[in-house]
Every structure is written in structure tokens, then in C-alpha cells.
Amino acid sequence: MKTNLETTPNQSGPFATFSHAWNEAWNQFWFQPESPNTLGLMRIFVGLIVLYTHVTWGLQFSTFLGVNGLLPLEYRALLFDSPFAWSHFDWFTSNQSLIVIHVLGLITITMFTLGIWTNWTSILTTLLIISYANRGTGANFGLDQISSFLCIYLAIGNCGGAYSVDDWLAKRRGAGEGRPSTRNRIAIRLIQVHMCIVYLFAAIGKLQGTTWLNGEAVWGALASYEYQSIDMSWISNHMGLVAILTLGALAWECAYPALIWFKLTRPIMLFFAIPIHLGIGICMGMLSFGLIMLAGNLAFVDSRWINKRFQRS
């Protein structure tokens, strides 16, 4: 007796249907092929910021990182007794050799920014950032951590597949260097998730204090002589404005990990990221940190939108 499969009722059940739909959504979220346009644009911005920060190390290189510099190796050993806190500077014992290695590192970062041999220079740039951060223990800030994880994820993806010398040479050879790939999608998602974690824990930390909840935190930051780059003392006469800025920034940071994922609210969250991070950077002398955070936010900009804008220009 033949069985008509087309008329056989579905025996999968609601749980199997839900499981299948969840599996499809998970695979689409993480593994759907993505073009490299977003990663390529991020590579340029992140590379420029990293190059700038490491050039500034060179202005007083021997003073800080030299053999007898202000940041001795013993200081790092006291804080981090771990084999993972390595630095390639540990392998050289003279200031002349250290400076040569520093210059070679700057060349590597420049090649990464331009997208030359990107598969290799992205990895080397990541190792350099981590190495400098480990060697500069005692002089590190959030900029070093954000730069490190952004470069790690850029190295995972094909960040040289767009807006790079590699891509230009591949197109001249008729190759498809900038084709969509799962590798790009994974890198983008890792950056996005990590950015949400950064904002989430930053918001949790603020909620544990009192100055953010009572609306005074922005004034405390602007009044700090340690970070003050612009005289903002006039704002003390407008504490209502201070409260709006404080609570607005706190609300934005708390909402970011959730609202950034929705197409309707994503442009709003990205729009407010610009004045928040540029305001911090300009008023508190941390422009490089503000710019690296904005570079991380680029991960949420659709690669198709970026491609269209570059094609028009």
C-alpha cells in the first residue's frame, strides 16, 4: 500500500518547529556571508588611530620604554606575574635595537592601514598592540584595550577585502578579493557583541555610584584638572543642562546593548554615539579614545550602505 507523503500530517510538533526556526536564525546571525566593506572601512580608521598612538610613543620612546626608562620591566612583573604578559621588547637589551624594532612596527601598522598583505599585517598589528600594552604597564588606558580587541576581530575577518591595496591588486588581476564570506560575518558579529558588553558593564559601573543618578557626573568629569582640555567651568552655572547631559548619556549607555540591534532604533543609537564620544574626546583630552569607540560603532553600519556611498563618491 502506497503512502501519500504530500497528505501525511506534520508530526514534527511545535517544539521541533521552534528548534528549527531558532537554528535557522542562529546560523543566519553568525554565518550568513558578509561583504568586507564594513571591515575595510574599520581597518582604515582603526589603523590610523593605532598608528597615531604608536607614533606618539616614539616621541619619548627611550624615556618611557627604554632600557632604563620610566616604565621598568620590574614594575610590570609586580603587577602581572603571568607568562601571557609578554612583550617583544623583552628580547632586546639596547635602546638602539629597541628603536629599530619600534620603527619596523610602525611600518607594519602603516601596511595594515593601507591594506598591504593584510592577512599577515593584521595579525602582526594585533600582536604589536598587545605587546606595547604589556610593556607599557602603568601607562595604559581604555584606548589600548579597545584597539586590541578591534584588531583581533579585524584579523579574523577579511578586512583587506575592500578599500585596500590588496583589493586593488586583486581587481587588476581579475580576482574576487572582496567577495562576501562567512569569515567577515563572524568578525562583524564578534565586534558588535563585544561593543555591547563594553557599554553594558560601563553602564552597570555608573549605576553603582551616586553622581550619575543624581545628575552631577558630567560636571565632576569636566571639572577634573587631570583630564580638562577645554575650560568648561561656565557650565557650573547651568546645572540643569549638566543633569540632562548626565542622565541622557546614562540612558543611552544603558539602552545601547538592546536598542542597537533593531533597525528602527539603530540609527538613533549611532547618531547619539557621535556627540557623546566626540564630546568626551574634545572636552576631556581623550580624542583618540573617542575616535576608537566611534570606529567600533562602525561595525553596526550596514556594508551595503557603505558600498553605495563609496560608489557614489
- φ and ψ at residue 26, rounded to 5 degrees: -65, -45
Quote the CA–CA distance of 286 and 306 in Å, as a whole number. 27
* Confidence band for 3, pLDDT divided at 50, 70 and 90: very low
Check pLDDT > 80 for residue 272. yes
**How high is the pLDDT of residue 81?**
65
Q: Does residue 163 have a pLDDT over 70?
A: yes
**Are 147 and 292 in contact, with CB atoms under 8 Å apart?**
yes
Residue 312: pLDDT over 70: no
Structure-model confidence comparison of residues 238 and 277, the more confident one: 277
In 3D space, the residue among 171, 159, 77 whose CA is nearest the CA of residue 125 turns out to be 159
- The pLDDT of residue 116 is 96
What pLDDT was estimated at residue 104?
Answer: 95
Question: pLDDT at position 297, please?
Answer: 97
Residue 168, Cβ density class (10 Å: 0-12 exposed, 13-18 middle, ≥19 buried)? exposed
**What local confidence, expressed as pLDDT, does residue 6 receive?**
44
Q: What is the pLDDT of residues 7-33, one digit of tens each?
A: 444 556 788 888 888 889 899 999 999
pLDDT recorded at residue 171: 86
The pLDDT of residue 114 is: 97
Element holding 173 (H helix, E strand): none
> What global pTM score does this model have?
0.88
Q: In this model, does residue 166 exceed pLDDT 80?
A: yes
pLDDT tens digits, residue range 48-95? Answer: 999 999 999 888 887 888 777 777 777 777 776 666 778 888 888 888
The one-letter amino acid code at 261 reads W
Any idea of the CA torsion for 142, 145, 147, 152, to the nearest 10 degrees? -160
- Give the count of alpha carbons within 13 A of 213, CB side only: 7
How high is the mean pLDDT of the chain?
A: 87
Arithmetic mean of pLDDT, 211-222: 87
Among 289, 248, 290, smallest CA distance to 269 is for: 248
Give mean pLDDT, residues 96-110.
Answer: 93
Q: What angle do helix axes 287-297 and 182-207 make, rounded to 10 degrees?
A: 130
Please report the pLDDT score of residue 30 as a whole number.
93
- Range of lowest pLDDT (44-53, 128-137, 185-194): 128-137
